[in-house]
Structure formats: C-alpha cells, structure tokens
Chains A and B, each alone.
Chain A
C-alpha cells in the first residue's frame, strides 16, 4: 500500500531495490528451496550490483522491474546450469531445473505475477515459522520479505548489527536443520501458522508505530510493510478471513495518526492534543472498509476489538466528543479475552474519562506486575497530578524516566516534569 508515502526518500533505485528484493528472494527461494535461501539472496545481491553498475546515476531503464527480473532469471539459469549434476534442490521443481527441456521455462514461470505473490506468501509462512523464536521471525521477515539491510533492521529493532547477523544466521540454520518445506500450510496446521503470521505482522507494525528511538522514516516503512504483507495475505484464499481484515483495519486506523503523533522536533503529541486535521482520512476510510469485511462471520478476535476501539477514536470529532462508554465496553470484552496488565491499564485510562481521576487512581493502584512498565508510572503521575498530589506525580514521572530508552518518551516525560515545576 502506497498510502504512506516515503517523502524523504528520493532515491528511486534504493526504494525499488527494497521492494523488488523481497519479491525476488521469495521467488528464488521457491526455486532453490528453503535450505538454499542464501543462494537466492546472493543472486538478488548480484542483480542489484549489476543494476548499479549498468544504470549509473541517470540511466534507469524504462521498466526497471522487468530489467531486474530478466537479469535475475539469467543469473539463476546460469547458476542452475553450472550446478546441474552437482546439487539437488528440495523444491518440487528440482527435476525440471535439471533438464534443458524445462529449465528456462520453469524459471520464467516463477516470475509471473501470481507466482511472485504465491512465493511471497510461502516466505511469510517460512519466516514466521513457530520453530523460530519471535525475535528471529521479525528479523527474517524484515530481511527476506521487506528487503531491509542488516543496518536498517538493527536500527528498527534497536539492537546491534552483529546481533541481527547472529539471529539471521541461526534462523536460516534452523530452517535447514528442520528440513522445512517452502510451502503454504494446509488443514489444521494452517490455523496455528496463521496465528504466528498475524503476530509477526502486528509486532512489525508496533515496532514502527510505538515511539521507539528509531528514525521516523524507518518507523513509517515498517508500518507500510506490515500493511503490505497483511494485504498480500488477505488477497489469498488462506488469508481471506475476518481476522485478517480486523488486523488490517486496526493497522489502518493507527497508521492514520502517524503524522499527528509527533511534532517536527520528535516530541510525542498525546491523543488529546493531536491536530485531528492531520489524521489521514484515506487510511481511516480504508480502516472502516476493512472493519466491515472483518465483521462478516461470527469470529470475534482481539484484533476485532482493538480495531473497534481504534475506530471510535478515529470517528470522534474531538477528544471530548469521544464515545468513552462504547470504548470501555470494548475494553471489558478485551479484558475477558486477554486480561493482561497492559489491557487493564488502558481500560483504567478510559474509566478515568468517565468516572474521574480519583476513581481511576484507586483502580490503577490495584494492578500488580506493572512496576517496570513506564506507562504505568506516567499514567499514575497523570492521575496524581489531576487529583492534586504533585509530590507523588513527580515521583512516578522520575520512576518512568528510568524505565524507558525511547528518546521521544524521555522528552515527553521531561516536558511534563518541567510543567510541574512551573505550575
């Protein structure tokens, strides 16, 4: 989805490479098999090198995508010819790749539009395979499907490049050791695998959406990629499900606020103070479109409820016009499905809108397990401050300060501490 455009990225080639990398690596992995994902990555890398070399600065061909595919196909066919009697591939194409009768047509066929989509879907299921730890699923998805460099992944996931390299290396080794097939799962296994795909997409989106210290451009890209992958999923029969649309709706509603969430200096602007004119109306409309598709059928998932909450925010003309009663009902439902402390924290915030800070403060103090969560302390500080207890408010803001590494969050907390001194 190109709704979230990348304004600062004028570099057509690097954008094109990122988009096409995910497609080509997926297609080539389909050809070589999951155990040989590195061959696929090498060929794609070589293709980009050749493009940089041939295109120079100002010589991008008219149809750069077709150019890239042609080069990648030729490199693949050369490689396969060279390895004809040496290497076996576990893909179902193995035999066809070993005969000149079928080699080049088989490779060509894999680059047809519907096969590219099919391959990307297989890659989604492979990258999100439950045998991999979640942090590896994320890194692998960003590398193989989103075409991010090691450096970009490390910045997006807030860790070192060495760490990302290690994760990717182990993940690929695991995929090899387990002899996993590069396929779209069927039957009972599909449901289980879908859930881990949803989780990774949602995590990917949250990495982009939540105010980590990574740069705004990367964060927006992550949100756009999560949306793209989820859309891809929805276009295939395995993913054409209410839950997929609920997740899409949820992400659209949140993404609509991306531009309004921070100011030019990177300060976080709270929902209450956001300029609602800056909310992306196109994405909100998309969100409602997906939400209506999500409501076909009788399945009610966490994503449905969260999308519902986000929808009420998106449709409110102002903060005080928000339908807090309706949102509270949804939080009560969410609490039944997932009674996590974070859900309860969010619910209490909504309750404060309806029943006041005094009541909410008492409720909040009942929640355990959240002492290490900075938002718990900033929320406590908010309620203390609203009920006139400045000392406690200050104490909790300071506690919060020690619990987050996120630069925008730190700025926000400091701003609130400053305001408290002034008042």
Chain B
C-alpha cells in the first residue's frame, strides 16, 4: 500500500440550500467513513478560504485568494491505495464532482537519502 494525497479544488457550496449542503456533507461523511472501515483513510481536513502567501528572500506577504474560485484548494485527504489507479478509484467516490469540484491525486514521495 502506498500513501496518496487527494487535493480538492473548487466546488462551490455557496449557492446550495442548507438542505443540499447537509446532504452533501452526509455524502462526504459516508465516503470517508467507508474508507476508514476499509483501512484506507489516514487523515485530512477541509480548509477555510482565508489564506496568506509568504515568498521570496524578503518574505513578501500577500493576502489571498491567489487563484480562480475553481482552483482554490478546499481541503485534502490522505488515503492508502495499491497504486495511482487504486487512488483514482477511491477519488471517484468523492461527492465534490456533483458541485463542480475537482480532485488532484499525488503520491506521497519517500525521501530516501
């Protein structure tokens, strides 16, 4: 088993009714709950929009957001899968696509030095 980071981008819940929102959160819960039961879920949290960027030798500070709404990272998840295809299968269960979001899958790299 390898470790993967799922990055959730975009997916705006703002226009949704409270009922639709809570329905959607239930789906998130069920999806993650299912992964946990199979031992494939290692962690992860949703992220709030407020952000700040520090860059350069002078550590210049800019307040976000830095991307188009559909590019903003809304959360992350750490999962276990056999390979990238397995992680892709896992990601297909995410409810984010129902409201315009996308998932980026990255394998956790082992730094062997």
How many CB-defined contacts (below 8 Å) exist between A and B? Answer: 36
Looking at the complex, which one of B33, B37, B42 makes contact with A102 (CB distance below 8 Å)?
B33
**Majority secondary structure of chain A interface residues (helix, strand, loop or mixed):** loop
Bound-state CA distance A92–B43 (Å) is: 14
Q: How large is the interface on B (under 10, 10 to 19, 20 to 34, 35 or more residues)?
A: 10 to 19
A100 and B43 form a contact (CB under 8 A): no
Contact with B along A97-115 (1 / 0, CB 8 A): 0111110011000000000
Q: Cβ of A271 < 8 Å from any Cβ of B? A: no
Interface stretch of the complex, out of B13-21, B23-31, B50-58, B99-107: B23-31
> Separation in Å of the A83 CB from the closest CB of chain B?
14
B43 and A105 form a contact (CB under 8 A): no
Bound-state CA distance A96–B43 (Å) is: 8
A101 and B45 form a contact (CB under 8 A): yes
> Separation in Å of the B52 CB from the closest CB of chain A?
20
B36 and A101 form a contact (CB under 8 A): no
B36 and A96 form a contact (CB under 8 A): yes
Across-interface contacts of B43 in A (CB, < 8 A) = 95, 98-99
Across-interface contacts of B28 in A (CB, < 8 A) = 101-102
Across-interface contacts of B37 in A (CB, < 8 A) = 92
Q: Which of B28-70 touch A at CB < 8 Å? A: 28-29, 32-33, 36-37, 41-46
Known: A101-B75, A101-B77. A96 touches B45 (CB 8 A): no
Q: How large is the interface on A (under 10, 10 to 19, 20 to 34, 35 or more residues)?
A: 10 to 19
> Separation in Å of the A214 CB from the closest CB of chain B?
46
B46 and A100 form a contact (CB under 8 A): yes
Across-interface contacts of B46 in A (CB, < 8 A) = 100-101
Bound-state CA distance A101–B41 (Å) is: 12
Nearest-CB residue, chain B, relative to A105: B29
Across-interface contacts of B26 in A (CB, < 8 A) = 105
Bound-state CA distance A101–B31 (Å) is: 10
> Separation in Å of the A99 CB from the closest CB of chain B?
5
Nearest-CB residue, chain B, relative to A108: B29
Across-interface contacts of A101 in B (CB, < 8 A) = 28-29, 32, 44-46, 75, 77
A99 and B33 form a contact (CB under 8 A): no
> Separation in Å of the A396 CB from the closest CB of chain B?
66
Looking at the complex, which one of A92, A98, A106 makes contact with B29 (CB distance below 8 Å)?
A106
Looking at the complex, which one of A95, A99, A105, A106 makes contact with B45 (CB distance below 8 Å)?
A99
Nearest-CB residue, chain B, relative to A109: B29
Bound-state CA distance A102–B27 (Å) is: 10
Across-interface contacts of A95 in B (CB, < 8 A) = 36, 41-43
Bound-state CA distance A106–B41 (Å) is: 15
Q: Which of A35-84 touch B at CB < 8 Å? A: none
> Separation in Å of the B2 CB from the closest CB of chain A?
18
Hey, which bits of chain A sit against chain B, CB under 8 A?
92, 95-96, 98-102, 105-106
For the A-B complex with A98-B43, A101-B29, A105-B25 known, give 8 more contacts whose Cβ atoms are closer than 8 Å.
A96-B32, A96-B36, A99-B44, A99-B45, A101-B44, A102-B32, A105-B29, A106-B33
Instruction: Write 12 A-B pairs (CB below 8 A) sorted by A numbering.
Output: A92-B37, A95-B36, A96-B29, A99-B32, A99-B44, A99-B45, A101-B45, A102-B28, A102-B29, A102-B32, A102-B33, A106-B33
